Structure 1
């Protein structure tokens, strides 16, 4: 499904180049639940951006569903990303001035659906994450765990093949973290590929496969 071959990523820092990723090689099969674990500054966020088609400025080869990412225009990449990948972030990335319903339907509207077409899908997803009664609430009226469940619903709205979750439990207590991880497990059982980026070994161990990144180098297994 995903194959990265000899991926190097450099950043210019003044007169010098900093290498954030070093010869990354990874294959991710459809239906996997993969955790990529590493400390701050290890390169995991850089790798997440590449995996999530948010950055195509790198050396090496990236194929996604047998398509070479380097051949995509920016518009094609954006469309492909919106169709195939759902994102979940540590800080939820919800728009505070919009209701829960409005936050969830944004990706559908981006793809050209009419608002009346989004209504049933939003209700379906809120039921999936046990938040049906919060449809007209605003993010500031919800707990952190509830906001993360809204962001999961939003990530699912276009039926993505992959969910990329960047430190999804980082702002949550242990009990709420377990609830969120249980949702990921259920989604994975339904066939969605999960890529989890985390610094927490206890969270990483909930996945079916763990890889570790340190100083830009990716290896199988824990530290």
Structure 2
């Protein structure tokens, strides 16, 4: 599944488990970023909105610069995953999933332990100091790497860090399913895609709900859950791509 030049785009049980875990992880990161810094981190739309708002507030115009800079790291994360996965797939080389997932794991660990050691200040403090923007940058970088990787390996079918595209695709898929008797074209994997999209929305929501309780109770310690989930994903990729390929 995860070795050779293959993409993890097929509706196999193992691939679906990976997608759902990544959606769950994204929900946790998003609610964690919001509760820590009062900004969502898994999609860029909110930063564009806050940029416009902050720019209109003369006494807070300096925050507009931050709202412009932070999402650039989401872009950088997507570019990084593109270099490690997308370009290598197009060149028929072995995609380095284990490196992108390893980066996510290390960044999540840095966020969690850095927060517990006080590097990012008090959990939930107003977004004012450079340490708050540093936390936002790291979380956006994580989400950019994750979204870029899963977008590439799913052939642009799946997004796990935000739900707008998935919800749109789900709506279109449901209408296709309801009108399947009128359509001449085969449905193919449409039913599987509907279940997959529903699962991603559910698991993202589950991560957000669980995260709200955990972050309320443990502050920065809540980021230890993404450390565990990203660690599972990293060691899975490392096992299949590096360890098993060497012993095969």
TM-score normalised to structure 1 length: 0.27
Bigger fraction of residues in strand: 1
Bigger fraction of residues in helix: 2
**Relative CO higher for 1 or 2, CA cutoff 8 Å, sep ≥ 6?**
2
Structure label with greater radius of gyration: 2
TM-score normalised to structure 2 length: 0.25
